[in-house]
């Protein structure tokens, strides 16, 4: 038994020395350079609303309506693949806009503002889902909820409905 142990000893020593040889090499690997995160938030809140959020929401709200006359009720709704794709783009803008509202430099506080922005994002997501499913009834039904999400933030932060 004893001689056997001795034959293993050099191997163990070799493994150990290999480990030691590797360690300093790993430590000298330079840290990856991290780009500084700088958000461009120069667009004012008003501009973000007027040029990004409001037009996107309007396109979605205007996309579905019912016109009633003596001949009956006719749906005005997206029809072609192109129509749906155009709406999907606008709903995606809204989903991402919720994130933009939460950026440092935009968020008015870390509490209620974040909740309002999140709620808005969830409503926008529901719109995107209805559009992906081409569900006209659903899209019509949830339009009011999206509007509600806009208004409740405005009531608190903008004096604007």
Tell me whether residue 77 or residue 158 sits nearer to ligand HEC (CB atom): 158
The number of residues that bind ligand HEC (CB under 6 A) is 20
Which of these segments, 17-25, 31-39, 136-144, 150-158, binds ligand HEC (CB under 6 A)?
Answer: 150-158
Identify the residue among 101, 131, 136, 142 touching ligand HEC (CB under 6 A): 101
CA distance 137 to 25: 63
Q: Which residues bind ligand HEC (CB under 6 A)?
A: 45-46, 49-50, 53-54, 57, 101, 113, 116-117, 120, 146, 149-150, 153-154, 157-158, 160
């Amino acid at each position: 038994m004893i001689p056997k142990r001795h034959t293993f000893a050099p191997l163990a020593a070799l493994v150990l020395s290999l480990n030691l040889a590797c360690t300093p090499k790993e430590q000298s690997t330079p840290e990856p350079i991290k780009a500084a995160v700088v958000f461009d938030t120069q667009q004012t809140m008003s501009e973000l609303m007027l040029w990004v959020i409001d037009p996107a929401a309007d396109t979605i709200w205007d996309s579905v309506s019912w016109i009633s006359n003596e001949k009956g009720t006719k749906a005005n709704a997206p029809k072609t693949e192109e129509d749906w794709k155009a709406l999907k783009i606008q709903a995606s803008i809204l989903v991402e806009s919720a994130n933009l509202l939460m950026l440092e430099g935009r968020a008015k506080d870390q509490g209620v503002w974040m909740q309002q922005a999140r709620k808005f994002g969830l409503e926008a997501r529901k719109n995107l889902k209805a559009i992906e499913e081409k569900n006209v009834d659903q899209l019509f039904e949830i339009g009011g909820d999206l509007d509600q999400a806009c208004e409740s933030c405005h009531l608190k932060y903008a004096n604007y409905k």
